Amino acid sequence: MVLPPMAVALPKGSKDLLGDDGGLTMKELGLSRRKLLRNAALGTAALALPVSRVTPSAAMVKTLNFYSWTYGISFVKQRIAEFEKLAKVKINYGNTPGSKYHDALVVKFSGKTPLDVIYMIDGHLAEFVEAGWLYPIDEFPRVDEYRKEFIGPTAEALTYNGKLYGLPYYVGHMAFLYNEEHLEKAGIGAPPKTWDEVVQQSLQIKSKGIQEYPFLQFLKADFWMGELLFTMMYSRGGRFVDEKYNVMGYDKEGSAAAQAIQWIIDAANKHKITQPGFLELNEVAALKAFSSGTGSFAILPNYRLRAANEPKSSKVAGKVKMALIPTANNAKPNVCGWTRCYSMTASAAKDPARKAMSWKMVDFLGGKDKSGTYRTAKKWFTEFGLGFGHAPLFKDPDIIAAANKWGEAKLFESQMALSKPKDGQKAVWYAEWDQFMRPRVHKAILGQADIVGTLKTLTKQWNRLKRRYG
């Protein structure tokens, strides 16, 4: 039985550090995702055709349409205002909660809503390119320079069929956070290095009455569910599919995926170290709970370390630390990572002047300023803790100083280097499989379905979609 999510009071503070949740899905709107994509691909195929490289003055464009998810809105608006002044253009800005962003974009593109520059998620890139909605940026000035400075998997994440579809907005990964004060009270000298140690330390904290449920788990069937499950699988040495999208032992007895699900079940039912209602707890609510002092351990996006240590919005500011993800099976401490970017739409590229202005905005937000600094990316890190996709920033003194205020700069770089994108996310059917996966894994966790049987069902669905789309 899944209990209602916890109600947690949080001190007043900056909502920008928390983000948002809510909105309507396509299902709630009574729309079929597959039908929308199919119709959109037919109706907008011409948008993917090459356009003239003759670039007239971008000044001919008086308005530009920009769309994002709801995070750091006050800062986004500051940057918009600065660009408007610089480029002498009016930005029509809209946004929607991040958990509903994919569906909102599909509806807007399918309805031919004017969009020029948008946030894009690496896991949805292939899908949107194939639908004819995005335009590659390889032809523009300084792109080659930027690409050489991308870190880790950034270039691969933003490339599809050899073409680059955006500049990094931020690069992140799931991170293992812990409340240092709780460990000290329990007599624990260092954070856990293995998943077995997570259980042992949680039981020790629980036995001393410090926390009833030391491992704060969130696993609502939304966007973040995949990132969390992949992290728990990667840290056990597992894979889902290879580069050709062939399943790699994912559905076998004792696989890393099966171990991860069993660990979640045991943590809740056998060890009772995970709070009731975690299947209905979303990422934002988990952050609020952890920031209120609930839980000793949590896996959250790495940028949440900044928010958890913000005195204006956290009761445990200064006490939350990050450690490398615990492991099992002698695996490396790999985590699920991601890249978010600023992309130009194919509809913007149809008009040469609008195309030029759209690139100016992408470059303004994701590139360097006149001093050679990735100004927007740097500000996202120092003010919000968002990771960056540019190697030079690891050596920036301001970045290092900011990182050391709420964590450890070298540790950030180490865990980033061990981050991996979700296996198979470049498949155009990935988002459809991901949505299919969520309720079925929930059933397995609830004991309503066999773990291996569930993984075999997910494998069959993956292969079915591969045949259909491939």
400 pLDDT more than 50: yes
Average predicted confidence (pLDDT) for the chain: 89
Q: Give the pLDDT of residue 398.
A: 96
Strand partners, 301: 174
Long-range contacts: 48-52, Cβ < 8 Å, 24+? 48/129, 48/132, 48/135, 48/346, 51/349, 51/350, 51/352, 51/355, 52/352
Q: Give the pLDDT of residue 153.
A: 78
Residues 6+ apart with CB under 8 A from 209: none
Q: Give the pLDDT of residue 46.
A: 34
pLDDT tens-place string over residues 428-438: 999 899 999 99
Q: Identify the CATH class of 53-172+339-413.
A: alpha beta
> Structure tokens of 79?
């940057």
255 pLDDT more than 70: yes
Q: Give the pLDDT of residue 152.
A: 75
pLDDT tens-place string over residues 192-205: 999 999 999 999 99
**Euclidean distance between CA atoms 213 and 278, whole angstroms:** 11
pLDDT tens-place string over residues 7-44: 333 333 444 454 543 333 444 333 444 544 444 444 44
% of the chain at pLDDT higher than 70: 87
Average pLDDT over residues 83-94: 97
Higher-confidence position of 468 and 28: 468
Q: Give the pLDDT of residue 191.
A: 98
Q: Please report, for the chain, the start and end positions of each structural domain, with discontinuous segments joined by +.
A: 53-172+339-413, 173-336+422-469
**Euclidean distance between CA atoms 291 and 295, whole angstroms:** 9
**Dihedral Cα 107, 110, 111, 115, nearest 10 deg:** 80
Nearest to 281 by CA among 262, 300, 266, 265: 300
pLDDT tens-place string over residues 405-419: 888 899 999 999 999
Identify the CATH assignment for 173-336+422-469 out of 3.40.50.620, 3.40.50.720, 3.40.190.10, 3.40.50.10490: 3.40.190.10
pLDDT tens-place string over residues 199-244: 999 999 999 999 999 999 999 999 899 999 999 999 999 999 999 9
Q: Give the pLDDT of residue 19.
A: 52
Higher-confidence position of 431 and 168: 168
CA atoms within 13 A of residue 441's CA, in its CB half-sphere = 26
Residue 59 carries which DSSP code? G
pLDDT tens-place string over residues 47-70: 333 333 334 566 689 999 999 999
Q: Give the pLDDT of residue 12.
A: 39
Q: Give the pLDDT of residue 223.
A: 85
**Euclidean distance between CA atoms 270 and 451, whole angstroms:** 16
% of the chain at pLDDT higher than 90: 83
53-172+339-413 and 173-336+422-469: identical CATH topology: yes
Average pLDDT over residues 337-344: 97
Q: Give the pLDDT of residue 59.
A: 66
pLDDT tens-place string over residues 111-143: 999 999 999 999 899 999 999 999 999 999 999
Higher-confidence position of 34 and 73: 73
pLDDT tens-place string over residues 436-452: 999 999 999 999 999 99
**Dihedral Cα 285, 288, 291, 293, nearest 10 deg:** -70
**Euclidean distance between CA atoms 394 and 151, whole angstroms:** 10
Which stretches of 57-96 are assigned E, i.e. beta strand?
A: 63-69, 90-96
